[in-house]
Amino acid sequence: MTTLAETAPDVLRVTDRKSARAFVDTHIVPYADAYDRRGRVPEELLERMTAAGLWAPFLPRDTGGGGMDLVTLGEVHEEVGRGCSSVRSLLTVHTMVSWAVQRWGSPAQREQWVPALGRGDVLAAFCLSEPGAGSDASGIASNVVEKNGGWVLNGVKKWITNGQRADLFLVFARTATSIGAFLVPRDSPGVEVTPIEDMLGTRASMIAEISFRDVALGPDALLGPSGFTAGMVLTGTLDLGRYSVATGSVGIVQAALEACAAYASRRTVGGSLLKDLPLIQAKLSDMVTDARAARLLVAEAGRLKDAGEASTIMATWVAKYFASTAAARHASEAVQIHGANGCGHDYPVARLYRDAKVMEIIEGSNEIQRITIASQAEREII
């Protein structure tokens, strides 16, 4: 099959924030509301993202990746999140799985999957949540049993971002002794994908429920260590996902700010432009301040990741908590500034408002984050 990269080699490559912004402004911003209404991201954009090298540019160069540092990756994901949270969500889960295979995979697993994940030839989804277990990973009921030297997987995963489209699932399931991570190709017999439509937010992220019925897996399906350290695969992968969601939340605040600045500069009330009214100025100044503060928290978490510092995990919790609550607050204010116009389809702020709420729930609800942050503070300070 001829790819877009072959037929249109001049398609912009994304290597940093500037090129990401140009890509997003050209290929995503004009169409994001249409994706939202249709409930999916079109294949054409997925191909453009492949051609742009957007899927996993952080993978090492010797695997075909771009070797991008995580601070820059965060900036790229922020820009994509500014354009469309659904598209950024696809990047988030693909990033999580790609990182996990690169970090925890055996040489054979890396050889099989990493180059294809890096190019975007294989798209991945992260399967943790279930009908009865969300942020509480210890509550998952999906299970695997060892059989004939391999594994047999049973269970149901729900709210799986890009589940409708992904080619490879990273599935967390109970083993005899702990929770393990398993690589499950979509075309494995016994895998059934059911689209979930009409979500509140990130409506185009192609969310699905996925059933696994007696899915036979080879011995090489287990990713990473078994036993107590298996939890680290989950912890490390969620940490990177949380980082991406934090960056995307900054993108939502920035998008709200840009939409409101444009609207307030045109719209008049009582003979005055909205932008000249003190109450509107207060809202805009809070957006500017929080966008900058959240961006700095995210950058610090990214810097610690690049340095391999253990403190990045808590820095990422803090960044995600701050950025997602800021996104929800400012997206709400953005609708307020737009008035009735903000409640319709003519402006992007209604989409931002719905998407922002999701940021407070995914990759660890904000309640879980506050418990974790408080626990860390107790250890360090009290």
Partner 1 sequence: MSGNAKDQILDFVRARYPQAEIDETQDIFALGFVNSLFAMELVMFIEKTFEVTIPNDELKIDNFRSATSMAELVDRLSPARV
Please list the active-site residues: 363
Nearer of residues 178 and 285 to partner 1, judged by Cβ: 178
Spatial separation of the C-alpha atoms in residues 197 and 153, rounded to whole Å:
26
Question: Using CA atoms, how far apart are residues 189 and 57, in angstroms rounded to an integer?
Answer: 31
Which CB sits closer to partner 1, 100 or 207?
100
8 A C-beta contact, residue 142 and residue 130 = yes
Closest CA to 137 of 103, 168, 171, 111: 171
CB of 380 to partner 1, least distance (A): 8
**Closer CB to partner 1, residue 193 or residue 232?**
232
Residue placing its CB nearer to partner 1 in the complex, 89 or 244:
244
Least gap, CB of 377 to partner 1 (angstroms): 12
Contacts with partner 1, residue ranges (CB under 8 A): 104, 106, 224-225, 227-229, 231-232, 234-236, 239, 307-313, 372, 379-380
* Residue with smaller CB distance to partner 1, 209 or 239: 239
Residues 308, 300 contacting (CB under 8 angstroms): no
Cβ 354 vs Cβ 200: under 8 Å:
yes
Work out whether the CA dihedral 181, 222, 49, 70 comes out positive or negative. Answer: positive
Minimum CB separation from partner 1 for residue 379, in Å? 6
Nearest approach, Cβ of residue 281 and partner 1 (Å):
42
Please state the closest distance from residue 232 (CB atom) to partner 1, in A.
5
Nearest distance from residue 55's CB to partner 1, in Å?
25
Question: What is the rounded CA–CA span in Å between residue 150 and residue 170?
Answer: 16
